[in-house]
């Protein structure tokens, strides 16, 4: 019997939920985003596998998705409540499996910790249980730690499973680009490439001191270890506690005046505060996100002088941050994130609920 980490990832989760309640959409290119109107400013939240074949993916502006989409494509509005309900049912089903520890890392994915001599059997049981209780399919990555389990899932999609361990790590991943590693985005990939590091094996063989100089003492070591597939293996089933609440809006028409920005920030900060108040915890820090036209995004924040449960203080902090914006530039998007004091025993995970009109 060995300890294993299983990464469960729901297949095309948002699109699958929509198809589940609209069976006539099965097999069609389905794109979910904003209010479902591709003529408005919004981004793709998810695209079905059929839509992805046309180069449509998450984060793409809906207008671009509409240009790529075939005539039979279906655009749908985001329905947060439906997805949260489906997520709750999925996680409850997995949590009920015998001998399993569950760590939620997103509304459509989680880690399972199991001790078994047949992890594939446990993965199959999990897939069957989720399908029977929700009608949704999932893929499962099997690993000897979280990093390998998370990466393994991509090889199992859709509706399958894949095992990735120290034994086959370099065979499977050695020649892959560093971008295929969990946690390596395009910017990090580019910085690694500047040092001649383009593949996973090259990252594993790289000079750690060089990486520390480039990324700092913590992340430099992390990236070097990532090249060998090293990472944490403990699945923590401590109930998740939100660290913060965010509200953001992409405006259909750019904001062009200081008054418009102040009005929007007042509304967003008030909404974020209300979400925090519902949790019964004081706000300790306020963050502002701005996207200038055409598409340059900046984020910054400030710590409050003391924790507060006063709406006016949170709004004032957001407005003070807003006063530092470049008022000569038009604003496409604004977001306010209110960070809360953590209760005793809270894990403080960075899984921030985000609500907004996108």
Query: Over the stretch 95-120, which tens digit does the pLDDT of each residue have?
Result: 999 999 999 998 899 999 999 999 99
The CATH number for 39's domain is: 3.30.70.270
Q: What pLDDT band is residue 323 in, cutting at 50, 70 and 90? A: very high
Whether 206 and 294 map to the same domain: the answer is: no
Terminal Cα distance for the chain, rounded: 48
Q: Are residues 314 and 288 part of one domain? A: yes
Asked if 109 is an active-site residue, the reply is yes
The answer as to whether 233 is a domain residue is: no
Q: 262 and 131, same structural domain?
A: no
Q: Work out the average pLDDT over 281-301.
A: 95
Q: Is 216 contained in some domain?
A: yes
Question: Residue 274 and residue 76: Cα distance in Å, rounded?
Answer: 28
Q: Does one domain contain both 146 and 4?
A: yes
Residues 184 and 127 in one domain: no
Residue 177 has what DSSP assignment?
Answer: B
Rounded to two decimals, the pTM is 0.81
Domain containing 199 — which CATH number?
1.10.150.20
Domain match, 156 and 287 both: no
Residue written as tokens 């383009």? 198
Residue 194 in any domain: the answer is yes
Q: Are 163 and 2 in contact (CB under 8 A)?
A: no
| Domain count for the chain | 3
58 and 161 assigned to the same domain: yes
Domain enclosing residue 301, as ranges: 244-357
Q: Count the neighbouring beta carbons within 10 Å of the beta carbon of residue 238.
A: 11
For residue 20, is it within any domain? yes
* 139 and 201 housed in the same domain: no
Report the distance separating Cα 133 and Cα 162, nearest Å.
Answer: 23
Residue 197 domain-assigned (yes or no):
yes
SS3 198: coil
Is position 306 within any domain?
yes
Residue 193 shares a structural domain with residue 317? no
What CATH number did the domain enclosing 295 receive? 3.30.1490.100
Q: Rounded mean pLDDT of 83-99?
A: 95
CA atoms of 321 and 300, how far apart (whole Å): 8
- Secondary structure class of 113 (helix, strand, coil): strand
7 and 136 part of one domain: yes
| pLDDT tens digits, one per residue of 123-181 | 999 999 999 999 999 999 999 999 999 999 999 999 999 999 999 999 999 999 999 99
Asked whether residue 256 falls in the same domain as residue 160, the answer is no
Q: Which among 50, 109, 248, 313 is annotated as catalytic?
A: 109
Question: Could you tell me where the DSSP H helices lie in 135-257?
Answer: 146-156, 169-173, 186-193, 200-204, 208-215, 217-226
Q: At 275, which helix (H) or strand (E)?
A: helix 258-279
Q: What is the pLDDT of residues 19-42, one digit of tens each?
A: 999 999 999 999 999 999 999 989
Q: State how far the Cα of 319 lies from the Cα of 207, in Å rounded to an integer.
A: 45
Asked whether residue 38 falls in the same domain as residue 145, the answer is yes
Report CA torsion sign: 337, 341, 346, 348.
positive
């Amino acid at each position: 019997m060995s300890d294993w980490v299983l990464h469960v990832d729901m297949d095309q989760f948002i699109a699958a939920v929509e198809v589940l309640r609209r069976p006539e959409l099965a097999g069609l290119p389905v794109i979910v985003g904003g209010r479902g109107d591709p003529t408005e400013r919004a981004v793709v939240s998810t695209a079905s596998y059929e839509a992805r074949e046309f180069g449509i993916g998450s984060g793409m502006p809906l207008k671009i998705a509409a240009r790529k989409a075939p005539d039979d494509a279906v655009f749908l509005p985001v329905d947060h409540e439906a997805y949260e309900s489906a997520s709750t049912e999925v996680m409850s089903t997995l949590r009920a499996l015998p001998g399993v520890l569950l760590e939620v890392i997103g509304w459509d994915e989680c880690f399972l910790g199991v001790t078994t001599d047949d992890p594939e059997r446990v993965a199959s049981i999990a897939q069957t249980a989720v399908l029977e209780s929700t009608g949704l399919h999932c893929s499962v990555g099997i690993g000897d730690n979280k990093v390998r389990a998370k990466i393994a899932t991509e090889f199992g999609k859709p509706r399958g499973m894949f095992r990735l361990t120290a034994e086959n790590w370099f065979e499977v991943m050695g020649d892959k680009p560093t971008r295929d590693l969990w946690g390596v985005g395009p910017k990090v990939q580019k910085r690694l490439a500047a040092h001649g590091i383009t593949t996973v094996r090259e990252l594993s063989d790289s000079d750690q001191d060089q990486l520390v100089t480039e990324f700092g003492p913590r992340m430099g070591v992390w990236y070097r270890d990532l090249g060998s597939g090293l990472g944490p293996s403990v699945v923590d089933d401590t109930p998740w506690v939100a660290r913060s609440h965010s509200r953001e809006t992409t405006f259909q028409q750019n904001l062009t005046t200081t008054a418009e920005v102040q009005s929007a920030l007042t509304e967003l900060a008030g909404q974020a505060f209300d979400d925090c108040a519902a949790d019964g915890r004081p706000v300790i820090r306020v963050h502002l996100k701005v996207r200038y036209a055409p598409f340059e995004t900046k984020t910054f924040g400030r710590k409050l002088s003391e924790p507060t449960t006063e709406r006016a203080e949170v709004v004032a902090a957001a407005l003070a941050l807003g006063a530092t914006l470049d008022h000569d530039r038009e604003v496409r998007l604004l977001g306010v994130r209110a960070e809360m004091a953590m209760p005793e025993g809270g894990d403080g995970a960075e899984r921030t609920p985000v609500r907004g009109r996108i």
